[in-house]
Amino acid sequence: MKVAVWLNEDIDKQVGGGFSYSDRLVELIDEKEFSKDLELIFLARKPLKAKYKKPVLILNSRSELKMPFFHKILIGFFSKINIFNNISVRLKNKHKKKVNAAEINELQINHVHVIYYLFQTMQSVQNFPFITTNWDLGHLSMYAFPEVSNDASFAKREKWYHTTFKKALAIFVESESGKREVTNYLNVNEARIFVTPIFPGKVIHLDLSFDIQTKILSKLGLKSQKYFFYPAQFWAHKNHYNLIQGFKLFSSIEKDVKLVLTGSDKGNLNYILSLIEKEELTNSVKYLGFVELDDMNTLYRNALALVMPTCLGPTNMPLLEARALDCPVLCSDIEGHKEQMGDGALYFNPLLSDDIYSAMIKITDADYRNALLARAHLELSSSVFEEKKSMNILDENLLEISNYRNCWNYIDEIEY
């Protein structure tokens, strides 16, 4: 079976975990020698900047089949008149179908059997067998935070999950907890859901000397093991609010320990910054914005602990990155986190600031901290949330999918 892995180099790295995971996954796919019955290539619509060992197929139909200029004029004219807007939509759709049919033809000529999309809610070529990736079902599984419950976001998710998602040849999820979410909330046949475990990003592979780490800490105004670290985008569900409240209690006792926050703004930053000011914590909480990998690696390695009170699972990459870099993990007591970390983390109720505070206090005890790290090392040795094991599972999953993909040829449309 020939699998085309869809690449999109335009995705902003400030997207966060989704970018970090897919970025590393592409590297691992490029490096891996898959089973003899599998052939993996990369697929895109425009030439790629990066160089790859595996073949790259560029779909040219979109650029070659440009919409006629007269049609563009008609679409522009009719779209401004409500009663004729449906004509504009029909013209657009007709062109899209023509381009899509040409792209399918390109894929068939190149003997591609299935497209593998690495990002959630992505399908670039219609009516062609595909594997979709699913990281979470946040609009159904957690509280109604604005980023998943407002009209536009909720409608987009519902449309995806109840139409396109269910057309997937296979669904790749990052954990057994993620698989249970899909079956419980969407009533999808378990046989179509494959667990391909999530793993840490590139940050764990940096080998920074002690001197470089010391310089980075000095630049950031930090001291080793004198700060908690939370790398997270500023969404409401990341739960910075309760973290700040818990840290306020902590800092009234441990005044020389700081809280370091990184990540880009997703609409909630000003609210959290104003909360920090209101609680008189401006000297104790450092917001660093988006940081590069060297800084991120150093922040993990030298933190007193990672503290992650997110309300969204099932899983999260920073837990794995922290564990790999000898940083103790304090995190939400959600099912997926326990699957990832086992006995190697200290769990708390993310909506109880007192619970977060208690975890912070507990990790300041050196003996407890060392014991937690020892348990984390033991869990790591047998964890499936690791690159090599995950890639072997990916190989096995693709082989299983090939058993039923081989049941038909390149047929655009089947009438029953």
Taking the C-alpha atoms of residue 322 and residue 303, their distance in angstroms, rounded to an integer, is 9
CB 238 within 8 Å of CB 310: yes
pLDDT in tens, the chain (416 residues): 999 999 987 665 555 666 788 899 999 999 999 999 999 999 999 898 889 999 999 998 666 555 555 445 544 545 555 554 565 556 566 767 888 888 999 999 999 999 999 998 888 899 999 999 999 999 999 988 999 888 788 999 999 999 899 999 999 999 999 999 999 999 899 999 999 999 999 999 999 999 999 999 999 999 999 999 999 999 999 999 999 999 999 999 999 999 999 999 999 999 999 999 999 999 999 999 999 999 999 999 999 999 999 999 999 999 999 999 999 999 999 999 999 999 999 999 999 999 999 999 999 999 999 999 999 999 999 999 999 999 999 999 999 999 999 999 876 554 43
Q: For tokens 């899983």, name the residue.
A: 315
In whole angstroms, what is the distance from residue 257 CA to residue 87 CA? 63
Asked if residue 282 lies in contact with residue 298, where contact means CB atoms within 8 angstroms, the answer is no
Cα 52 to the center of its chain, rounded Å: 22
Q: How many CB atoms lie within 10 A of CB 363?
A: 20
Q: Are 199 and 387 in contact (CB under 8 A)?
A: yes
Superfamily of domain 202-385: Glycogen Phosphorylase B; (3.40.50.2000)
Please check whether the two domains, 2-199+388-405 and 202-385, share a CATH topology: yes
Question: How far is C-alpha 149 from the chain's CA centre?
Answer: 19
For domain 2-199+388-405, the CATH architecture is: 3-Layer(aba) Sandwich (3.40)
Helix (H, G, I), strand (E, B) or coil at 161: helix
Distance CA 213, CA 17 (A): 23
Is 353 strand, coil or helix?
helix
Domain range annotation of the chain = 2-199+388-405, 202-385
Q: Which amino acid is at 364?
A: T
Q: How many Cα atoms occupy the beta-carbon half-sphere of 185 within 13 Å?
A: 18
The phi and psi torsions of 375 (rounded to 5 degrees) equal -65, -35
Spatial CA neighbour of 260 closest among 235, 218, 232: 232
Q: Within its chain, how far is the Cα of 47 from the centroid?
A: 24
For residues 226 and 196, give the distance between their C-alpha atoms in angstroms, rounded to a whole number. 36
Task: Find the distance separating the first CA and the last CA of the chain, reported in whole Å.
Answer: 26
